[in-house]
Amino acid sequence: MLELTVFLSGALVMVLEMVGGRVLAPHVGTSAIVWTSLIGVVLACLALGAWAGGRFADKTLSRRGLGQALAGAGLGCGLTAFCHTAVGVGVTQGVGNLYLAAVAAALGIFALPAFFFGMITPYVIRLRIAGVDTAGATVGRLYALSTAGSILGTFLGGFVLISFFGSTAILWGVALCMLLLSLCNAPAKPWPRLLLLALCALLAWQDSLYGQWLAEKSGTRLVESPYNSIRVMDGVDRARDGRAVRLMATDPGYSQSGMLLDAPDELYFDYTRFYALGPRHVPGARTVLMLGGGGYSVPKWLLAGKSGLDAAALRLTVVELDPAMTAASRRWFGLKDDPRLTVRHEDARAFLNRQQERYDLVFVDVFNSHYSVPFQMGTMEAAKELRRAVAPGGALLMNVISAVEGPDGRLFRSIYHALAAAFAEVRVYCVGRPDRPGEVQNLMLLAFPEAGRVSPPAPAPAADPSAAETDVMLSARYAGPVPTDTPALSDDFAPVERYALMLLRR
């Protein structure tokens, strides 16, 4: 039983840590900062728990003491499952700095269960050691079992549990398993722990019912996948005469996709409308590659024939990392099966490295927020692969969240110079405030594989009813030279996220 306890507790603590990233995502996002904070906090609490567990074993060595440590871990997981939303909301509302908020949220949510998990292995070792002559073998065997359990828990949590269960349900499951282990190791006087076990089971059941009720009442749906914590929310847009709108978000404070419920094929966000610059410059485009599907707003707009392209002859390939994002788009954002549409569920960079086809238009929209940047898509090597994917006479459009000028523009300038090294010409359009290029906003980069391309004349209104709007977009072009203070970065040295994180300090 002691060996089994060490193995299972090692597995469950890693399940706790793997699901921790999903628990923190709605409050502080999923960036490297969040994972660094989570891992650091859990390791610190495990170390503190190991120190306390060793001292506790020297003073009170019994199976009852082990049962108390196991029950403490179960109780800590139960409290985490019950309170993590309230703690996360409180921390993010009270702490404005992402670094401090991520550490504080990880501490407030995971410190208690991680501390008790840390106590278990030292206590079991002290119980199992029979003499000095075999102490080394005993310690090595138990640590090996704990590590083997952690390996199993890592794959079980990351590959299986997160794919099929919600994070709160997994936390309740870990709590129940630890309480059962406590009862198995110390069956004497079980009633307090049995009551605690029954209470956790009841709260887990009520939490499931409450989650369903809250989703129905608030109009918010939560979908958890191995890649994202996806929230789908309904509301009204007062700026558009109170029209009903549906939003999709994966990071706190930002929406990645939006849709007007009475016009699902229209482009809702301002920056998505700038993709109309592609059909304007390549009016004969027949093949389109979209890297980053999100809520599939742009693909639906293209397939509906509202871009000015020949929709019947169009062939569209969308590369979206998360299958759950596509499933949510089919369920709530009006995405339908279409023979003209091909969806690939894989990383955009991996797709570019492997594929050989060339496209008339390549659209890139892989940012989740201004601090959640897929750095592998912003390097010189990525720019070369993007250039290889653009057919002669075609064009690339890439959405970047950054400033153009000043210290907040380092992210943009790094990506711009990478594209400029691979393409013959790169133009920049400021979506939000063309008159304030020093402000963080959506920027649309338009790149051509050949030099000497000129802006096309305005099409006839009958051919493109949105021509006037596109003319306004063309007028938002950044006229000044792009500063050269920030170099393009390679895969070997790609701290693109560092430039993005600099924006958070302002």
Q: Which two tokens stand for residue 495?
A: 């701290």
Question: Is 430 among the domain residues?
Answer: yes
Residues 282, 208 share a domain:
no
Closest CA to 74 of 205, 229, 226, 192: 192
Residues 204, 332 share a domain:
no
Q: Which of 347, 365, 408, 464 is catalytic?
A: 365
Question: Is 256 among the domain residues?
Answer: no
Amino acid at 176: L
Residues 214, 83 share a domain:
yes
pLDDT of residue 457: 61
Q: Which of 218, 245, 276 is the last residue of a domain?
A: 218
Query: What are the C-alpha distances in Å from 202 to residues 77, 189, 205, 206?
Result: 15, 22, 5, 6
Q: Can you tell me whether residue 234 is helix, strand or coil?
A: strand
Q: Which of 187, 218, 249 is the last residue of a domain?
A: 218
Question: Is 59 among the domain residues?
Answer: yes
Strands 425-430 and 441-448: antiparallel
345: domain CATH number is: 3.40.50.150
The 3-state secondary structure of 156-222, one letter per residue:
HHHHHHHHHCCHHHHHHHHHHHHHHHHHHHCCCCCHHHHHHHHHHHHHHHHHHHHHHHHHHHHCEEE
Question: Is 281 among the domain residues?
Answer: yes
Query: What are the C-alpha distances in Å from 296 to residues 163, 179, 326?
Result: 22, 44, 8
Q: Distance between CA atoms of 286 and 310, rounded to whole angstroms?
A: 7
Site of tokens 């728990």: 49
Question: Is 175 among the domain residues?
Answer: yes
Element (H, E) at 248: strand 243-249
Question: Is 251 among the domain residues?
Answer: no
The answer to whether 278 and 361 have CB atoms below 8 angstroms apart is yes
> Torsion-angle region of residue 294: left (phi > 0), alpha (psi -120 to 50) or beta?
left
Residues 83, 17 share a domain:
yes
Q: Distance between CA atoms of 502 and 415, rounded to whole angstroms?
A: 15
Range of the domain at 295: 265-501
pLDDT of residue 130: 78
Residues 471, 367 share a domain:
yes
Q: Distance between CA atoms of 359 and 313, rounded to whole angstroms?
A: 14
Domains of the chain: total: 2
116: domain CATH number is: 1.20.1250
Question: Is 464 among the domain residues?
Answer: yes
Query: What are the C-alpha distances in Å from 66 to residues 7, 172, 292, 305?
Result: 15, 21, 49, 67
Residues 173, 104 share a domain:
yes
Residues 61, 185 share a domain:
yes
Residues 297, 214 share a domain:
no
Q: Which of 184, 218, 252 is the last residue of a domain?
A: 218
pLDDT of residue 506: 46
365 is catalytic: yes
Residues 170, 271 share a domain:
no
Q: Which two tokens stand for residue 100?
A: 């401090």
pLDDT of residue 76: 95
pLDDT of residue 468: 75
Residues 426, 326 share a domain:
yes
Residues 391, 314 share a domain:
yes
Farthest CA pair distance, the chain: 92
Question: Is 148 among the domain residues?
Answer: yes
Residues 270, 178 share a domain:
no
Q: Look up the pTM and report it.
A: 0.79
Consecutive sets of 10 residues in the chain, 506 residues long: mean pLDDT of each?
A: 96 95 84 89 97 93 93 95 91 86 95 97 92 88 95 92 87 96 92 91 81 62 82 88 90 82 92 94 95 94 93 96 93 94 94 94 83 79 96 95 90 93 95 90 94 68 63 89 84 58 50
